[in-house]
């Protein structure tokens, strides 16, 4: 009962603390002077302190002061935006490592399946890869600490440490009871920012850039391009920034500078405090001022990726193809607040050369009372590129040519969600130490039938849209007293839907085979293999190649004002 009371108390207190904060913030709209604002802050802080002390003194159950205050601080900052955070004394060491560039990891992605923490992806040549860990391995303990009951975030925090430090991992292979122990060395830098590059046709270079986190990733991209140019007749370039979540602003500026000449604005920041009104410009002569360029983006391209893609648009330097980007245009600064704690606070917004901000979520609450909202298209402001083309703020970077993201069938989505493609690929790798080259490997009909057999007895239930509509029809029919009249028809429809649904594995065979192919290839050739195998069937890349073949259209797109 005591724990239940504590939880109820914490929830009520969170609301009280948040209410006090909102009172302070909403009160600003009616404050006419610094003196009035100072009084409002003092008054509300006094109320906060008295409430906090009274709860601690008189509440029926024992209350931990630090936990109670942390709940209040987190609730308060959550009302602002997801990037504004309190960093406690206990978290400060990890934070300093990250900020100082000293944080290192072992190069894995994790998933949680039931109660197990499983490696879903291993980065080529990272510490885990060198130690022999593979996708599908189940983690049991890290430096003696059991992973049971832990979240993926909890385990990731433990995996981070000082560069070159060792970490001991206990793990087992799927379908094995033998627990193995391996020592893994943490690495500071990702081994490469470019998992794959190649000539996708006689004259088109393709470079996949997965992150801006690595220092000198611009130098790596330039070196890759030069290597391709030395060995081939490169006349045009595709840079793939899909799923690139960004990283270092300095690298984004340098990368823009490869294609845009010196002394051109890349990004500016503006905040409430004038000190945050800054401009960042290119510093050197461009290396490739005229090389035809296409940038690929999607909804997971964020931050530095949006700065680069947006600049290529604003200077009419290249064509952006894909889907609208994520839309992160907020700048954070860290401030000391005493007791060895810090506040990471959003202090400004990024603005591209045209003057637009790509921030897609409005956290001020001015469009909707009490919370953040995606900026509606109707409220997005028009800006102009160098050639006068229309671009918009408030929603990421819109591609010049949109290629809609693929919508997977119910069966494919469910197989992915339930990790059944993942599990089959893991078992396939155990049984088959080698496969052919990534760009040659295909799922044969025999292998696909083996996969279908593997699924027998596995849970991959799902509800189709047809089933949902039929259920709604049943409810309405019952409401309007038609159910008895059409009950036989409804039953027949349900039977036909189930019969068709049972055939989904073959109705969507090509789609499922393709997803299974990529999953298996990744076990042998990492992310690089997945990219390589997908190039010939990727609709976004195919659209880019189509555009490059039409030089007139490419040029027209950069010169024509958007309607």
Q: pLDDT at residue 25 above 60?
A: no
Superfamily of domain 104-185: PDZ domain (2.30.42.10)
Which of 98-112, 179-193, 444-458, 483-497 is modeled with the greatest confidence?
444-458
Which candidate, 96, 170, 162, places its Cα nearest to that of 137?
A: 170
Domain boundaries, the chain: 2-79, 104-185, 196-337+346-404, 410-461+508-546, 465-504
| CA–CA distance, 291 with 289 (Å, rounded to integer) | 6
| Percentage of residues in the chain having pLDDT higher than 70 | 90
Average pLDDT over residues 490-514: 86
How confident is the model over 243-283, as pLDDT tens digits? 999 999 999 999 999 999 999 999 999 998 888 899 999 99
Res 371: pLDDT: 59
Average pLDDT over residues 38-64: 88
Q: pLDDT at residue 494 above 90?
A: no
Q: For tokens 């490469």, what's the residue?
A: 192
Mean pLDDT across the chain, nearest whole number? 87
| CA–CA distance, 194 with 190 (Å, rounded to integer) | 10
91-95, 206-210, 558-562: range with lowest mean pLDDT: 91-95
Q: pLDDT at residue 414 above 50?
A: yes
Q: pLDDT at residue 96 above 60?
A: no
Neighbours of 420 (CB within 10 A): 19
The β-bridge partners of 10 are none
Q: pLDDT at residue 448 above 50?
A: yes
What values do phi and psi take at 15, rounded to 5?
A: -65, -40
Confidence band (pLDDT; 50, 70, 90) for 513? very high
Q: pLDDT at residue 9 above 50?
A: no
Query: Could you tell me if 276 and 350 are in contact, meaning their C-beta atoms sit under 8 angstroms apart?
Result: no
Confidence band (pLDDT; 50, 70, 90) for 92? low
Q: Which CATH class is domain 196-337+346-404?
A: alpha beta
Instruction: List the Cα angle 516/522/523 in 5-degree steps.
Output: 100
Q: State the burial class of residue 232 (Cβ atoms within 10 Å of its Cβ: 0-12, 13-18, 19+).
A: middle
Confidence band (pLDDT; 50, 70, 90) for 195? very high
29-33, 105-109, 224-228, 470-474: range with lowest mean pLDDT: 29-33
- Cα 433 to its chain centre, rounded Å, is 32
Q: pLDDT at residue 30 above 70?
A: no
CA torsion, points 267, 273, 274, 278, in degrees to nearest 10? Answer: -20
Res 26: pLDDT: 45
Res 7: pLDDT: 47
Which candidate, 192, 308, 314, places its Cα nearest to that of 239?
A: 308
Confidence band (pLDDT; 50, 70, 90) for 22? very low
The larger pLDDT score, comparing residue 462 to residue 544, is at: 544
| CA–CA distance, 520 with 301 (Å, rounded to integer) | 25
What tokens does 61 get?
Answer: 């159950």
Which of 30-34, 77-81, 439-443 is modeled with the greatest confidence?
439-443
Average pLDDT over residues 469-495: 83
Q: For tokens 């080259």, what's the residue?
A: 437
Measured over the CA atoms of residue 455, residue 460, residue 465 and residue 467, the dihedral's sign is positive
Res 561: pLDDT: 53
Confidence band (pLDDT; 50, 70, 90) for 28? very low
Res 291: pLDDT: 97
The larger pLDDT score, comparing residue 380 to residue 7, is at: 380
Average pLDDT over residues 77-85: 87
| CA–CA distance, 320 with 26 (Å, rounded to integer) | 41
How confident is the model over 369-409, as pLDDT tens digits? 555 678 788 888 999 999 999 999 988 999 999 999 988 99
Res 39: pLDDT: 85
- Cα 456 to its chain centre, rounded Å, is 33
Q: Which residues contact 395 (CB under 8 A, 6 or more apart)?
A: 324, 327, 358, 360, 374, 375, 377, 380
Res 468: pLDDT: 84
Res 329: pLDDT: 92
Res 31: pLDDT: 45
Average pLDDT over residues 37-43: 85
**Helix/strand/coil for 30:** helix
Q: Which residues contact 191 (CB under 8 A, 6 or more apart)?
A: 107, 123, 124, 125, 126
- Report how far apart, in Å, the C-alpha atoms of 86 and of each of 18, 23, 335 are: 15, 20, 10
- Report how far apart, in Å, the C-alpha atoms of 103 and of each of 110, 124, 157, 166, 424 are: 18, 19, 11, 13, 34
263: DSSP letter? T
Confidence band (pLDDT; 50, 70, 90) for 233? very high
Confidence band (pLDDT; 50, 70, 90) for 93? low
Average pLDDT over residues 549-555: 94
Res 499: pLDDT: 77
Res 484: pLDDT: 81
Res 16: pLDDT: 43
Please tell me if the domain spanning 104-185 has the same topology as the one spanning 196-337+346-404.
no
Q: pLDDT at residue 176 above 60?
A: yes
Measured over the CA atoms of residue 223, residue 228, residue 233 and residue 235, the dihedral's sign is negative
Q: pLDDT at residue 100 above 60?
A: no
């Amino acid at each position: 009962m005591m724990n239940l009371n504590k939880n109820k108390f914490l929830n009520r207190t969170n609301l009280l603390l948040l209410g006090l904060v909102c009172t302070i913030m909403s009160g600003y709209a009616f404050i006419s002077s610094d003196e009035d604002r100072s009084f409002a802050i003092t008054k509300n802080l006094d109320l906060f302190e008295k409430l906090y002390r009274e709860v601690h003194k008189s509440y029926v159950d024992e209350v931990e002061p630090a936990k109670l205050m942390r709940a209040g601080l987190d609730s308060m900052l959550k009302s602002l935006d997801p990037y504004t955070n309190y960093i406690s004394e206990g978290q400060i060491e990890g934070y300093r490592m990250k900020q100082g560039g000293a944080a290192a990891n072992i190069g894995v992605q994790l998933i949680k399946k039931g109660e197990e923490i499983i490696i879903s992806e291993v980065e080529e040549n990272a510490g885990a890869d060198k130690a022999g860990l593979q996708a599908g391995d189940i983690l049991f303990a890290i430096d003696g600490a059991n992973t049971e009951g832990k979240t993926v975030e909890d385990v990731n925090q433990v995996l981070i440490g000082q560069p070159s430090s060792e970490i001991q991992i206990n793990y087992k292979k799927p379908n094995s009871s033998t627990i193995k122990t391996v020592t893994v060395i943490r690495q500071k830098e990702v081994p490469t920012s470019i998992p794959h590059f190649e000539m996708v046709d006689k004259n088109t270079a393709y470079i996949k850039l997965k992150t801006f986190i690595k220092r000198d990733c611009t130098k790596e991209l330039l070196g890759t391009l030069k290597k391709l140019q030395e060995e081939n007749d490169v006349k045009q370039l595709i840079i793939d920034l899909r799923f690139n979540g960004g990283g270092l602003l300095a690298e984004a500026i340098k990368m823009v500078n490869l294609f845009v000449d010196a002394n051109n604005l890349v990004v500016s920041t503006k905040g409430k405090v004038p000190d945050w009104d800054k401009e960042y410009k290119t510093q050197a002569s461009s290396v490739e001022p005229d090389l035809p360029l296409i940038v690929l983006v999607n909804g997971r391209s964020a931050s530095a990726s949006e700065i680069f893609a947006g600049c290529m648009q604003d200077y009419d330097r290249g064509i952006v193809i894909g889907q609208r980007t994520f839309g992160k245009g907020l700048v954070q600064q860290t401030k000391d607040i005493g007791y060895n704690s810090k506040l990471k606070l959003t202090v400004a917004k990024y603005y591209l050369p045209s003057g637009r901000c790509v921030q897609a979520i409005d956290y001020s609450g001015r469009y909707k009372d009490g919370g953040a909202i995606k900026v509606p298209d109707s409220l997005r402001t028009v800006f102009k590129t160098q050639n006068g083309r229309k671009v918009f703020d408030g929603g990421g970077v819109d591609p010049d040519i949109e290629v809609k993201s693929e919508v997977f069938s119910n069966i494919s989505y469910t197989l992915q969600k339930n990790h059944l493609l993942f599990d089959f690929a893991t078992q396939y790798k155990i049984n088959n130490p080698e496969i052919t080259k990534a760009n040659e490997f295909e799922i044969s009909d025999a292998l696909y039938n083996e996969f279908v057999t593997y699924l027998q007895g596995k849970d991959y239930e799902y509800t189709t849209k047809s089933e949902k509509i039929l259920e709604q029809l049943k409810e309405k029919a019952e409401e309007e007293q038609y159910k008895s009249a059409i009950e036989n028809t409804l039953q027949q429809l349900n039977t036909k839907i189930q019969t068709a649904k049972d055939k989904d594995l073959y109705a969507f065979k090509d789609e499922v085979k393709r997803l299974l192919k990529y999953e298996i290839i990744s076990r042998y050739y990492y992310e690089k293999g997945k990219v390589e195998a997908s190039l010939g069937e990727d609709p976004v890349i195919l659209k880019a190649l189509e555009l490059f073949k039409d030089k007139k259209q490419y040029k027209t797109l950069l010169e024509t004002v958007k309607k």
